[in-house]
Structure 1
Amino acid sequence: MISRPDQQADTRRPRPDVRPARARPLDITALVARLTERDRWVLRMLHEHRVLTTNQLAALAFPTPAIALRRLTLLHRYGVLERFRPLRTRGSAPVHWVLAPGGAAVLAAEAGISVRELGYNHARALAIAHSLHLTHTLGVAEWFTTLIAHAPRDQRGNQAQVQAWWSQTRCQRLWGDLARPDAFGRYTYAETTLDFFLEYDLATTTAPARVAAKLHGFAELARATGVITPVLLWVPTTVREANTRAALRRTWERLPDPDAVPVATAAAELLAPRPEASPAEHVWLPLDTDTNTNRKRLHELPSLWPRRTSPTTSIDSEEPAPSLNGLVVLAPPPPQPPASEHW
């Protein structure tokens, strides 16, 4: 649950998969008759975000976790997905999924490029299983998955939407010489659209001063591009939030143009421990106020920052979605295929 983030120590070592070895993967021509549009959507998501769990993919694209596991296991048998399960000292972890060479070949063929041009490397794809950043990567994915799965509805009954979710890798490729956010998102609620950078903090080894130092990069990015994009900091506890806010405030006030870097913070601890808890709730506190009664919902933040750059163009204006090398739009998965044919 997003209100109780995992700690890295719980998911450091992958558990060996002792199930029988899968059959020989299908070749790319045989996959033409086997992969649904939703399957291809899953491949694109894993290429963008490196790793997602069964529960996350179920929340994004399947009716239930059981149906998701059944289909993902079949995709593993086809050779388009790899899987692992980290060791946990308490309970058991869900199955984690990454893109396999067969899946990369499918995506490259769709885009009319080579697997190398796609940027896929099998060893690097599997390395996430042993990465010390695994929990952080999954935490960011859980944040967005929860925001998508439990999106609120406006007064007209229309559901809020996450129109874009770009990975840390993509953000680094676009802006890494100046700023390195953990993710970029576009969130719409009624007539309000909010572009934002997400900083996801686990409160493990990173000192608050180091988190605050990242504001210099965002300030340079705003100066270089002329685009003012808010920064949202998500931390696990209110104690961590208070300590980090103090460091952020000191750094923010020394920026050449503080208003060019709007900042708001929130703590997962503020969410009730219930399955439908969401980052869209009444938990966000702008950096220029210290009164907890001023906490806002996610869609209320834009009205507090008149200088922010209002999104006026389609985020996929350069290339149609889904795109592999351009700007990725988080379009919903295609309609589910009939159960009798594809489960």
Structure 2
Amino acid sequence: MITNPTPQRTLRGHRTTQPTRRAANTADHRLWLAHHLTGRDRWLIRMLFEHKVLTSHQIIDLAFHTRRVANQRLRLLYLWGIVHRFQPYLTVGSAPMHYVLDSTGATILAEEEGIKPSTLNYNRDRAAGRAQSLQLAHDVGCNSLFTTLVRRGRQPGATGHLTTWWSAARCRRLWGDIVTPDGYGRWTDTNGDVEWFIEFDFGTEQLSRLTDKLHRYTRLATSTGVTTPVLMWFPTPTREAAARTAIEGLNVPVATTNATAASNALDMGEPRWLGLGNAQSRGRVTLVDLPTLWPDIPVLETGTNNLAASSSDLAAPHPMPPPTVEYERARS
């Protein structure tokens, strides 16, 4: 005899949750989307193709003014099959929603470029597999270094903005035979321009490997005739100090920082960058003041990059959102 029956109402919570219905990637659906995708949506497709995974926080920094509007639009893009989403498990608290490009978004990008979807080298399983990647935290953290700069450039009265942001994958295709940076960026300001490679270190590599990386940057500068500073981010002051000792004296302009060197662990614009050698005496400087650490490096011409992109690649999207964002803000 059952002496302690389970109330029926408690069983209802264990029913299988029905997945949200999403649109299939069909020609009819893409025809319908032609009237519904905004300039911001199409730009976001390109950003996800370039940078692989972006969190809801990062997407707000990039192209939205309120969290509510961002969440509403991202939900629609998910239902339309433009993006896929997942939420990593955290032992404490909850992670933001992470977004990757879905098959409909990739197909639309290919159609805009006038190429076959297969030419994009997009794979839906590979995109979804980023949810399980051991590199996820590294990739998301590195992307935040750039999205915080975009947010700075979008503020009223901003005197500069991010003009170039190349992903690690693009850098690997361009210079992978010599160096494999985690990204390349360029900031344009009223005081001038600054460009850099970023090395985002989680403290998992041997210091000898960091030294070898900087030797490779020296080789790149020699082979191209262009010297580009290398910025290195470390998780702790201890790791930064140990790395600085290991790389001191190398013939490449380097500035370092750590997560606690400024109020925001991932804001590149704050006064957090500490040069090596004689440049160390200037203390920690902002991103726009980095050229003062290396006065021998030629001043960049505004509007040009010292490094050329491959003509066989899709053009990297401009990191700042399109002008239509302000119009879409007024409509929302």
TM-score scaled to structure 2, two decimals? 0.85
**Cα 1:262–1:87, aligned 2, differ >3 Å: closer, same or farther?**
same
AA matched with 1:93: A
**Counterpart of 2:220?**
221
Q: Please identify, of 261-270 and 44-53, the stretch whose mean Cα deviation from structure 2 is larger.
A: 261-270
**Counterpart of 1:128?**
130
**Counterpart of 2:319?**
330
**Counterpart of 2:255?**
264
State whether residues 163 and 331 of structure 1, in contact with CA within 8 Å, keep that contact through their aligned partners in structure 2: yes
**Counterpart of 2:55?**
53
**Counterpart of 1:308?**
297
State whether residues 82 and 98 of structure 1, in contact with CA within 8 Å, keep that contact through their aligned partners in structure 2: yes
**Cα 1:207–1:239, aligned 2, differ >3 Å: closer, same or farther?**
same
Q: Where do 5+ consecutive residues of structure 1 fail to align?
A: 1-17, 253-257
Q: Which of 105, 116, 136 is matched with 1:114 structurally?
A: 116
AA matched with 1:236: P
State whether residues 153 and 159 of structure 1, in contact with CA within 8 Å, keep that contact through their aligned partners in structure 2: no
Q: Partner of 1:137: helix, strand, or coil?
A: helix
* Alpha-carbon separation, structure 1, partners of 2:260 and 2:123: 38
- What percentage of residue pairs aligned between the two structures are identical? 40
**Cα 1:54–1:211, aligned 2, differ >3 Å: closer, same or farther?**
same
**Counterpart of 1:148?**
150
Q: Partner of 2:92: helix, strand, or coil?
A: coil
Q: Where do 5+ consecutive residues of structure 2 fail to align?
A: 1-16
* Alpha-carbon separation, structure 2, partners of 1:317 and 1:179: 14
State whether residues 179 and 217 of structure 2, in contact with CA within 8 Å, keep that contact through their aligned partners in structure 1: yes
Tell me if 1:172 matches 2:172: yes
Q: Partner of 2:126: helix, strand, or coil?
A: helix
Task: List aligned pairs for 1:279-290, cutoff 5 A.
Answer: 279-289=268-278
Deviations 1:268-322 (A, max 9, x none): 2011259xx7321221111114857622111111122234354335349989xxx
* Alpha-carbon separation, structure 2, partners of 1:184 and 1:96: 22
State whether residues 144 and 165 of structure 1, in contact with CA within 8 Å, keep that contact through their aligned partners in structure 2: yes
* Alpha-carbon separation, structure 2, partners of 1:285 and 1:220: 23
**Cα 1:96–1:19, aligned 2, differ >3 Å: closer, same or farther?**
farther
TM-score scaled to structure 1, two decimals? 0.83
Q: Partner of 2:87: helix, strand, or coil?
A: strand
Deviations 1:70-125 (A, max 9, x none): 10110010111111110000111111000001000111111111112122111211
* Alpha-carbon separation, structure 2, partners of 1:340 and 1:249: 52
Tell me if 1:296 matches 2:285: yes
CA drift at 1:186:
0.2
* Alpha-carbon separation, structure 1, partners of 2:119 and 2:305: 23
CA drift at 1:221:
0.8
* Alpha-carbon separation, structure 2, partners of 1:110 and 1:42: 14
**Cα 1:295–1:317, aligned 2, differ >3 Å: closer, same or farther?**
closer
* Alpha-carbon separation, structure 1, partners of 2:330 and 2:297: 49
AA matched with 2:206: A
State whether residues 22 and 78 of structure 2, in contact with CA within 8 Å, keep that contact through their aligned partners in structure 1: no
Q: Partner of 1:198: helix, strand, or coil?
A: strand
Task: List aligned pairs for 1:169-248, cutoff 5 A.
Answer: 169-203=169-203, 205-248=204-247
**Counterpart of 1:6?**
none
AA matched with 1:302: P
Deviations 1:197-230 (A, max 9, x none): 0011112x21222122101211111111111100
AA matched with 1:269: T
Of the two structures, which has the highest relative contact order with CA contacts closer than 8 Å and spacing of 6 or more?
Answer: 1
* Alpha-carbon separation, structure 1, partners of 2:276 and 2:181: 18
Moved over 6 A (4+): 316-319
* Alpha-carbon separation, structure 2, partners of 1:68 and 1:153: 17
AA matched with 1:147: L
CA drift at 1:43:
0.5
Deviations 1:122-145 (A, max 9, x none): 121112111110000000111111
CA drift at 1:189:
2.1
* Alpha-carbon separation, structure 2, partners of 1:40 and 1:111: 12
**Counterpart of 2:4?**
none
**Counterpart of 1:12?**
none
CA drift at 1:326:
3.1
* Alpha-carbon separation, structure 1, partners of 2:78 and 2:33: 12
AA matched with 2:57: N
Q: Partner of 1:33: helix, strand, or coil?
A: coil
CA drift at 1:153:
8.8
* Alpha-carbon separation, structure 2, partners of 1:311 and 1:31: 42
The count of corresponding residues between Structure 1 and Structure 2 is: 310
State whether residues 52 and 138 of structure 1, in contact with CA within 8 Å, keep that contact through their aligned partners in structure 2: yes
